[in-house]
Structure 1
Amino acid sequence: MDAQLIVIIAGVILVVAIIGSLLFLKGYSGKFTFDTANGTRPRATEGEGSTSGTKSNGRFKLLTAGVGAVFAAIIAKLWSMQMVSADHYDKLAEQNQTRTVTTPAPRGRILDRNGEAIVDNRASLALVAYRDLAENTVVVRHLANVLGMPYMAVLRNIQDNTEGAQSPHTIASDVRRSTIAYVVEHIDQFPGVSVAERTERSYPNGTLACHVVGYTGTVTQEQLDAQENLSDEVRAGSIDYQSGDIVGQAGVEYYYESLLQGIRGEQTVKVDADGNVTGQAGAVPAKAGSDIKLTIDLKIQRACEEGLKLGMEVAEQTGYEPTCGACVCMDCTNGEILGLASAPTFDPSVFVGGVSSDTWNELNDDEGDHPLLNRVIGGLYMSASTIKPFTSLAGMEYGVYTADMSSNCTGWWTGLGEAWGKKCWLETGHGTRNLETGIRDSCDVVFYDLGKNFFYSEKNPEGLQEMYRRWGLGAKTGIDLPSEAEGRVPDSAWKEEYRKDWSADQRAWNAGDMTNIAIGQGDILVTPLQMATAYCGLAMGGVEWTPHVLLSAVARDGEGDAYTYEPKKRLTAEISTAGALDVAYRGVHSMIYEESAVTAAHFTNLPVQVAGKSGTGEKDGEDPYGWFIAYAPFDDPKYVVCAMLERGGFGSTCAMPAVRTVLGALYDSPDDAAYTAGDSTR
């Protein structure tokens, strides 16, 4: 503010003050008259003397003094603004001429262990506008029509106050280029709307590994509300989300959000009186999120997914129609997941730019197959006969069924009385079987006897459940993926609580319950990953590593070193009984090569020896669930492969082809034996 302007302002104020004073004094003009007879000397008309005139004179002086004081104060303030606080007001003026807007940061890529992209980024275009556009209902409605979005959805995006008052609000992301072209060509119909460059997720391998990587989506209001409820200390170390931000919503995208999410930048732009951008005043560039490398090998991942498809095709030859399944390949020496497949799959690209309500409802239809469910970690199933090696270890460890004991299988077991008789899967019977041959042939009768002995044991009536838990069953494995299920190892306390509203007899744990879980049936529930991890522990003599999918992360520029995942031991299952593990080892090895010539034909053509176990879970009213788990090499274990098909029939028929396909990929030895149905075990 220059001196000339100060003088003008002061002059205006002085004139206003003088006019005000005259108007004030006018109120007293009617109280004086002129004595025409005696000249022009005024005289008071109210009483005698000059008392009233004296008072008026005093008021005038008082008013004059007041006006002078106010005028002096104004002059002093103007001088202060010009001479003392000029810099401060210059800065305020500059702020009124600029806007600070945020710029989104690209998410980090997701790569397989060899550096091949599973999830990448691609350039995309978004339509943005400032909040005041919401007042122009004609433009908002026109935008909704052009974008094919509900009017209220467009209005809500424009009015959203979490993107910052000075930042443009995202109206729509990943807009088709034809739509962008129309808006640009008819920009006069869309005042205040502009185009912003963004990055969106792309999937160069389609749906491959979709349950591992998950998907992204716009940050939800619930997530924003949760952020608001964080303490200042916690929030200081977390990402500050704004409405419209793209965040991980499932899989690796969700679990490693803090690594993948970038740090938004800021851009200070100059604007004119109408808010139009006229130039750039400064910028802090956005920082892309960290690229992360997974333990996944896309070659093995493809084998897991193709193996499930093959298993389903073989199952269809026997009259079953499986559509759901799981397959996982794990390095038993460190817990790395090389492949993880769940069927059916889903297309993560449908979430880019926002998933439609119809697609979302289809993906979550209760009558459907729930393709978003990662069955490897979230599906709960009876373990079936795959649990029998651990049942054997329990019997030997607690002495209720030792290695030199045997049972006679006629196909029908009456150990609890004829009324409670149970069948063996082989109705003609296996004859005499011990623990080793019981594992090989999956003879149910051996394990019925073992379960019965536990139930009537005075020292360790729940030793069987303890052994299952010793190997990690009934507990989360700790994998670095969200939504892992816990599973269940049932016992008397569980049944009492589960059936608390039933009668005392119905709540009581009984021998039938124990014989059921001894063969992996009944109320026991496991995930395929739990069984794979348990077999890793079995192969490694009791040592289980925590399964994980992260291998390393590349640090953001200028933010320190890259992160490398350090494998962690999950547990060590100690078996004190001498020779017990060897019994289990011989059982799972002979199951591959001695139980069935059909099964053996698919593994003798591998360059390594394999050990494994099949299983078939029975669920009332449904076709059986098929399992197959194997590890290799037998003499120096490195890999475990586990497959399960829902409603696929016998495990050695439907699940074994999936496992063999993965082993073939691991050892570059595809299976050349034909798949035939009928000659298989449970």
Structure 2
Amino acid sequence: MASFRDDLAGRFATLGVIILVALGVLLSRLWFLQVLAGQEYAALAEGNRIREISLDAPRGSILDRNGEFLVKNRPGLAVSLQPAALADKELVTRLARLLEMKPAEIVQRVREKRADPLKPRIVKHDVGVRVVTIIKEHRRSFPGVEIQAEAIRDYPEGRLAAHVLGYIGEISDAEIGRRPFEEYSLGDIIGKTGVERSYEDALQGIKGVRRLEVDASGRRIRTLQQEDPVPGRDVELTIDTSIQAGTELALDEALAAAREQGMRNARAGAAVVMDVRNGEILALASRPTYDPTIFLGGISKKSWSKLTNKKSNYPLNNRVTMSAYPPGSTFKPVTAISGLETGVTSPSEIFHDPGKWTGMGEDWPKYCWQRSGHGSIGFIQGMAQSCDTVFYEIGLRLYRRRLEELQAWARRFGLGSKTRVDLPSEVQGRVPDAAWKKAFNRRNPQYGQWMPGDTVNVAIGQGDVLVTPLQLVSFYGAIANGGTFHKPHVMRRIVMPDGHTAHPYEPTVVRRLKARRESLSVVQEGLRRVILEGTGRGAFEGFDVEVSGKTGTAQVAGKDDFAWFVAYAPSSKPKYVAMVMVEQGGHGGSVAAPAVRNIFATIYGLPRTDREVYDESR
């Protein structure tokens, strides 16, 4: 009996210990939950109750040098949809009918923006009063549908300067996290091209935030706090609206004139005006062009296809900086200065041009553009008349002096290198040399050796040399100002919301041409004679401002000739350099030169001309 009681007491003691241990564990857990984890769980509870929604900042405006708006914002209204509302298919169908969209399109737009599930997704931008009124008057029929204010990009001058300004659009998956978009999120609007892209950091403001109280289901209860967004800064450009308009008109007229002269494939071209004293770009035009408003609210696949296919001639391409072409005879000043500086020719040399040049032997003849020849012709007159024979001979002498002498001088003029203009996607062109030719013909090494004829072709701007229109303008600007290469630029200053200048542009000297003043003076005189008595005379006859320039007619395999003309004015104290190039436009003197005359007429307030000019020079 005693042993039984002792056994029972032992069991109760064991049970008591177990109960005490369990109670201790329970109490310690309660203490942990209330004391140690209390703040953490309180924060989690608060997080479930409060949501933050970012508020987009209006982009800064873009203005010309005189303060005229080229891009600004106007107030607009957008229709947005809560992501959770997609479950209501009848609602989606009803909304699609009102917005004249397809239901699938609404679903796609809401789902493609992977962001905060509480943040409404815009399904249509810039809606009219009728749509807003219907949604507001029939709230119960449109649960989860909201009307929100937005800033819409507005272009007071329409398509003017489209390739300078660029366009905006939603950031893509590929752009997220890349410079300068490290802090951006899907759904954000960014600059895609042009100034909108180059000065994204300035134009993009600082987002605001709205803090909302929500219930357990995530539905909004009330707004707790709001920090307003800070608008972006304005960017004032070097562009002059009136000169830009005159330049675009001149380019359009050049394209039309080329087609009237039988060049039916003349559908594209470029034009640019730059201040030779500081590199400021006053006008930049590319054809074909596009309407930047087509990108507002997102562009359709059909519209995008039209802008990016060969049939449309790639209107998004800024041909001034993003395309490179054979320069034709506009390259000849490089050859001329190279010859003078190396001593292979002199200003007093007299050349003989019978029309057929056999400097490389009778088996390798080349011809002047004037097949009957220019006869005995001096160095400066050879420039004025764009005599190919003169430059064939200089090119061959440069080759014999040193294999890549001409290439070295071309690079000193900035060819083969980017100008570093403050516009995106600039290409560097090409100065072909022995290494390039060997690599190009690696599958056919028998054609890979650099030959005398290669240099002779480059000497007249043919062969495989390629330049961008802006490179050409840059090096003619350096000839005009005595040898200084300024960095071309379109930004003049960045303006803060309160109106003060945050970042004025300081002109940048990229390089100085190491050539004697005498050599530059000789070439300057040759370019002046081009207008007075040479291949540019017809276009500028009777013009009240003295101009110096050069025609160019570049041959391109499988295409019609490309027409070039580049000039600076006034000749005695240059301020501006202007260039027009027409793809497959024919002769530079008859197509591009009159266009440059009209650009200078706009600048100097002189009468424009529409007279036809006959020219067969190269």
Give the TM bin, normalised by the shorter chain: over 0.9
Q: Counterpart in 1 of 2:234?
A: 291
CA distance in 2, matches of 1:499, 1:178: 65
> CA offsets per residue over residues 537-567 of structure 1, 9 Å max, x none?
0001111101000000012569x95110111
Q: Which residue of 1 aligns with 2:56?
A: 104
In the alignment, the residues of structure 2 paired with residue 495 and residue 415 of structure 1 have an alpha-carbon distance, to the nearest angstrom, of 22
In the alignment, does 2:568 pair up with 1:631? yes
SS of the residue 2:175 aligns to: helix
Instruction: Indicate the residue corresponding to 2:455 in structure 1.
Output: 514
Query: What is the alpha-carbon distance in structure 1 between the residues aligned to residue 449 and residue 39 of structure 2?
Result: 84
Q: Which residue pairs with 2:511 in the alignment? A: 571
| Equivalent position of 2:528 in the other structure | 589
Structure 1 residue 598, shift from structure 2 partner:
5.3
Q: Secondary structure at the match of 1:579?
A: helix
1:577-633 per-residue CA deviation (whole Å, 9 max, x = no partner) reads x62222211111011011269526x35332x31111111001123211111111011
Q: 2:233 and 2:392 mapped to 1: Cα distance? A: 53
Equivalent residues of 1:170, 1:244 under 8 A apart? no
Aligned equivalent of 2:599: 662
2:429 aligned with 1:487: yes
User: Which secondary structure state, in structure 2, belongs to the residue aligned with residue 627 of structure 1?
Assistant: strand
The question of whether the paired residues in 1 share the 8 Å contact of 2:240 and 2:283 is answered with: yes
Which sits farther off after the overlay, 87-96 or 632-641?
A: 87-96
Output the CA distance in 2 between the equivalents of 1:49 and 1:478: 101
The structural deviation recorded for 1:142 is: 4.9
Deviates more, 1:657-666 or 1:207-216: 657-666
Correspondence for 1:214 among 166, 189, 207: 166
Alignment of structure 1 residues 260-409 onto 2, 5 Å: 260-321=203-264, 322-409=266-353
Correspondent of 2:404 among 462, 468, 471: 462
Q: CA deviation at 1:54?
A: 3.9
Match runs of 1:109-188 below 5 Å: 109-140=61-92, 142-143=94-95, 146-147=98-99, 154-159=106-111, 162-188=114-140
SS at match of 2:197: helix
What amino acid does structure 2 have at the position aligned with 1:661? Answer: N
Contact 2:254 2:595 in 1 (8 A): yes
- SS of residue matched to 2:212: strand
| CA distance in 1 between partners of 2:375 and 2:113 (Å) | 75
Structure 1's 221 and 180: CA in aligned 2 closer, same or farther, altered over 3 A?
farther
Q: Is the 1:598–1:680 contact (alpha carbons within 8 Å) kept by the matching residues of 2?
A: no
Matched to 1:493, the amino acid is A
Contact 1:435 1:583 in 2 (8 A): no
Amino acid at match of 1:308: L
Counterpart-to-counterpart distance in 2, 1:376 and 1:498: 26
Counterpart residue number, 1:243 = 186
Q: Select the residue among 430, 436, 439 that pairs with 2:374.
A: 430
Q: How far apart are residue 129 of structure 1 and its match?
A: 3.8
8 Å CA contact 1:555, 1:563 repeated in 2: no
Q: 1:439: Cα distance to partner?
A: 0.6
2:390 equivalent in structure 1: 446
TM-score under structure 1 length normalisation: 0.84
Cα deviation per residue 1:26-67 (whole Å; 9 max; x = unaligned)?
Answer: xxxxxxxxxxxxxxxxxx9xx995466445644664566467
Secondary structure of 2:456's counterpart equals: helix
Name the amino acid aligned to 2:511.
Answer: L
1:463–1:278 distance in 2 versus 1, CA, 3 Å: same
Distance 1:512 1:75 in 2: 93
Cα offset, 1:409, TM superposition? 1.6
Is the CA contact (8 Å cut-off) linking 2:579 and 2:596 kept in structure 1?
Answer: yes
Q: C-alpha deviations, 1:195-227, integer Å up to 9, x for none?
A: 221112111111000000010001111111x34
Q: Which amino acid letter does the alignment assign opposite residue 421 of structure 1?
A: P
CA distance in 2, matches of 1:93, 1:622: 71
Give the residue type in structure 2 aligned to 1:252.
V
Task: Give, in whole Å, the separation in 2 of the partners of 1:656 and 1:90.
Answer: 77
Q: What is the CA-CA distance between 1:316 and the residue it aligns to?
A: 2.7
CA distance in 2 between partners of 1:352 and 1:613 (Å): 42
* Residues 1:529 and 2:470 are matched in the alignment: yes
CA distance in 2, matches of 1:496, 1:354: 46
8 Å contact kept, 1:599–1:680: no
Q: Distance in 1 between matches of 2:541 and 2:327?
A: 23
Matched, 1:653 2:597: no
- Conservation of the 8 A alpha-carbon contact between 1:112 and 1:296: yes
Shift of 1:400: 1.6
The residue aligned with 2:495 is 554
SS at match of 1:418: coil
Matched position secondary structure for 1:326: strand
Are 1:254 and 2:197 counterparts?
Answer: yes
CA distance in 2, matches of 1:193, 1:670: 58
Larger Rg: 1
Query: SS of the residue aligned with 1:127?
Result: strand
Q: SS of the counterpart of 2:310? A: coil
Q: Tell me if 1:599 matches 2:538.
A: yes
Give structure 2 stretches of 5+ with no counterpart.
none
The aligned amino acid for 1:642 is M
Within 5 Å, give how 1:195-214 maps onto structure 2: 195-214=147-166
Range that drifts further, 365-374 or 181-190: 181-190
Corresponding pairs, count: 617
Instruction: Please give the alpha-carbon distance, in whole angstroms, between the structure 1 residues aligned to 2:472 and 2:37.
Output: 74
| 2:118–2:218 CA contact under 8 A, matched in 1 | no
Does the CA contact (< 8 Å) of 2:212 and 2:220 recur in 1? yes
TM-score, length of structure 2 as denominator length: 0.92
Cα offsets for 1:444-498 (capped at 9, x unmatched)? 11111111212222xx232111111111111111100011111111111211111
Q: Secondary structure at the match of 2:304?
A: helix
Amino acid at match of 1:437: Q
2:154 maps to amino acid: S
Q: Are 2:274 and 2:578, in contact at CA under 8 Å, matched by a contact in 1?
A: yes
Q: Percent identity?
A: 37
Change (3 A) 1:67 1:582: closer
Deviation string 1:383-434 (CA, Å, 9 cap, x unpaired) is 1111112211111111222222222222222222333212211122211112
Instruction: Provide the C-alpha distance between the structure 1 equivalents of 2:325 and 2:536, rounded to a whole number of angstroms.
Output: 28
Distance of 2:343 and 2:537 partners within structure 1: 35
